[in-house]
């Protein structure tokens, strides 16, 4: 049967399946510290595993890379324990009770194990199965998910555990690593549309926190376009309508991975980077079809409702994340796209280190308008938290939570960092679940302890 005709015939009976659906307002949490382990968030567990904590993370065993290099024989097993205990059904139940509608899931490139260069790159294996299970829990709970490419091949920013390898050797902004990120993107887009466990995924984020100085991110604008094209190429191959784009390949198979190969071989609407990514993703998906038990990858007649699915929301850090004449991700958009900005006051450089200055700053935040003026809308705040540079009183933390939620809700909403942290002094005030228990964060995330908190601070 002809691939596309087969899908069209099926669609009449298909149930509605969702992708690309943006909640009215995002009230979200990050599932951080899970599939990208940041040791500072769980120092007791990390040191019990054999890791170390030091002030410069490149100087000790303080990243997944250095841990796996040090303990090659036990890393997979130790991480499997972590993956199965850090984020559980009990956590999902708690998030439902707390009214959370969105989860941003930080992922490393190594979750697609086939793109890891095992000679030089050291990462645990097996995470993808836990991702599938976690997404199923979220989907069953009605919580939507963003797949966040948080730790990029080659490391996207220096000296951070959150890139997987704490190093000043930043190599993401090269052809080789951009290409691997596109393969990752093709694989994740395919799984999202073909594995029912991924049904809760509505967005895929290209690059978490690239270097802010655009002079140090050569080729990033081209990558943005290739990222969107890769997502859309997979979707067109599946028969999912993409606004303003038509596939020029006759697909003559129900075997999706073979169809990817046909598009890679004959399409003239995608460039060679995108087509190579499709071709490289195909054999990886054949393996994942078996590992994750997703028969629809090999026979899309088994996938229901593809034509009724909608395109994913491609997502980037906003243009104002960078300076020095950055590329505008809005120029890459084809179909629905979202923008992410992160704001932490505790590192300094945003406002003077006192409560009044913090409130004056956040209450007059203009990032949503500034981005919208450049086409970067809808904007959500994909990371924020309650930490401060001073010893905050409880009274201030109530105001600080309310004022930030007010500011971020002027855009598409907010995603707190993090759903939980280990209960230790080091990681204080970063747990959403704990913050709700203590009352700083309201039980209903759309509410405020005091919705007038900003009134004395508005400057106009």
Which is nearer to ligand NAG, 279 or 330 (by Cβ)?
Answer: 279
Tokens 């170390």 correspond to what residue? 52
Which is nearer to ligand NAG, 182 or 203 (by Cβ)?
Answer: 182
As a whole number of Å, the CA-based R_g of the chain is 22
User: Which structure tokens are listed for 361?
Assistant: 């700053």
Helices marked H in 195-307: 220-237, 256-266, 272-291
- Please give the residues from 379 up to 438 whose contact with ligand NAG meets the rule CB under 6 A: 390-392, 394, 428-429, 431, 434-435, 438
User: Which structure tokens are listed for 301?
Assistant: 């007649």
227 binds ligand NAG (CB under 6 A): no
Which is nearer to ligand NAG, 310 or 429 (by Cβ)?
Answer: 429
Closest approach, Cβ 1 to ligand NAG, in A, equals 13
119 binds ligand NAG (CB under 6 A): no
345 binds ligand NAG (CB under 6 A): no
Closest approach, Cβ 169 to ligand NAG, in A, equals 4
Q: Are 96 and 141 in contact (CB under 8 A)?
A: yes
Which is nearer to ligand NAG, 161 or 165 (by Cβ)?
Answer: 165
- Please give the residues from 134 up to 163 whose contact with ligand NAG meets the rule CB under 6 A: 154-155
268 binds ligand NAG (CB under 6 A): no
Determine how many CB atoms are found less than 10 A away from the CB of residue 119. Answer: 6
Looking at the DSSP bridge assignments, the partners of residue 106 are: 148
Residues 6+ apart with CB under 8 A from 415: 26, 28, 29, 30, 102, 104, 146, 380, 381, 382, 383, 384
- Please give the residues from 295 up to 324 whose contact with ligand NAG meets the rule CB under 6 A: 298
Closest approach, Cβ 448 to ligand NAG, in A, equals 9
442 binds ligand NAG (CB under 6 A): no
Q: Are 207 and 319 in contact (CB under 8 A)?
A: no
C-alpha angle 332-335-341 in degrees, rounded to nearest 5: 60
Distance CA 90, CA 93 (A): 5
Closest approach, Cβ 259 to ligand NAG, in A, equals 8
364 binds ligand NAG (CB under 6 A): no
Q: Are 112 and 187 in contact (CB under 8 A)?
A: yes
171 binds ligand NAG (CB under 6 A): yes
Tokens 């699915």 correspond to what residue? 309
341 binds ligand NAG (CB under 6 A): no
329 binds ligand NAG (CB under 6 A): no
Looking at the DSSP bridge assignments, the partners of residue 151 are: 108
- Residues near ligand NAG (CB under 6 A) are 58, 65-66, 154-155, 165, 167, 169, 171, 255, 257-258, 261-262, 265, 282, 286, 298, 390-392, 394, 428-429, 431, 434-435, 438, 450, 452-453, 455-456
């Amino acid at each position: 049967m002809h691939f596309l005709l087969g899908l069209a015939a099926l669609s009449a009976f298909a149930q509605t399946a969702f992708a690309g659906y943006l909640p009215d307002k995002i009230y979200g949490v990050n599932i951080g510290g899970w599939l990208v382990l940041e040791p500072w968030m769980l120092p007791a567990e990390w040191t019990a595993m054999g890791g170390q904590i030091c002030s410069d993370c490149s100087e000790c065993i303080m990243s997944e890379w250095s841990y796996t290099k040090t303990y090659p024989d036990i890393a997979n097993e130790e991480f499997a324990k972590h993956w199965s205990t850090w984020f559980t059904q009990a956590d999902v139940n708690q998030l439902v009770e707390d009214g959370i509608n969105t989860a941003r899931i930080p992922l490393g490139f190594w979750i697609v194990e086939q793109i890891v260069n095992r000679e030089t790159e050291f990462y645990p294996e097996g995470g993808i199965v836990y991702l599938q299970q976690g997404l199923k829990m979220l989907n069953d709970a009605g919580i939507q998910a963003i797949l966040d490419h948080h730790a990029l091949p080659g490391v996207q920013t220096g000296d951070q555990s959150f890139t997987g390898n704490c190093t000043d050797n930043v190599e993401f902004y090269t052809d080789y690593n951009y290409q691997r990120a596109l393969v990752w993107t093709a694989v994740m887009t395919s799984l999202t549309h073909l594995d029912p466990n991924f049904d809760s995924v509505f967005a895929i984020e290209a690059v978490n926190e690239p270097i802010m100085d655009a002079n140090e991110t050569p080729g990033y604008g081209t990558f943005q376009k290739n990222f969107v094209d890769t997502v859309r190429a997979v979707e067109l191959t599946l028969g999912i309508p993409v606004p303003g784009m038509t596939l020029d390949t006759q697909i003559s198979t129900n075997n999706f991975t073979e169809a990817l190969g046909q598009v890679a071989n004959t399409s003239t609407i995608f460039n060679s980077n995108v087509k190579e990514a499709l071709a490289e993703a195909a054999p990886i998906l054949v393996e994942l079809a078996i590992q994750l038990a997703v028969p629809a990858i090999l026979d899309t007649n088994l996938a229901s409702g593809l034509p009724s699915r909608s395109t994913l929301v491609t997502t980037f850090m906003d243009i104002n994340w960078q300076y020095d004449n950055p590329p505008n991700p809005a120029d890459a958009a084809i179909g629905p796209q979202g923008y992410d900005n992160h704001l932490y006051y505790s590192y300094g450089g945003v406002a003077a280190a006192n409560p009044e200055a913090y409130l004056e700053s956040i209450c007059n935040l203009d990032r949503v308008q500034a981005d919208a003026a450049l086409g970067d809308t809808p904007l959500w705040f994909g990371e924020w938290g309650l930490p401060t540079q001073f010893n905050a009183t409880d009274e201030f933390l109530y105001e600080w939570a309310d004022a930030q939620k007010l500011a971020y809700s002027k855009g598409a909403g907010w995603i707190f960092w993090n759903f939980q942290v280990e209960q230790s002094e080091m990681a204080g005030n970063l747990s959403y679940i704990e913050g709700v228990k203590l009352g700083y964060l309201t039980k209903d995330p759309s509410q405020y302890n005091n919705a007038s908190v900003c009134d004395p601070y508005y400057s106009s």
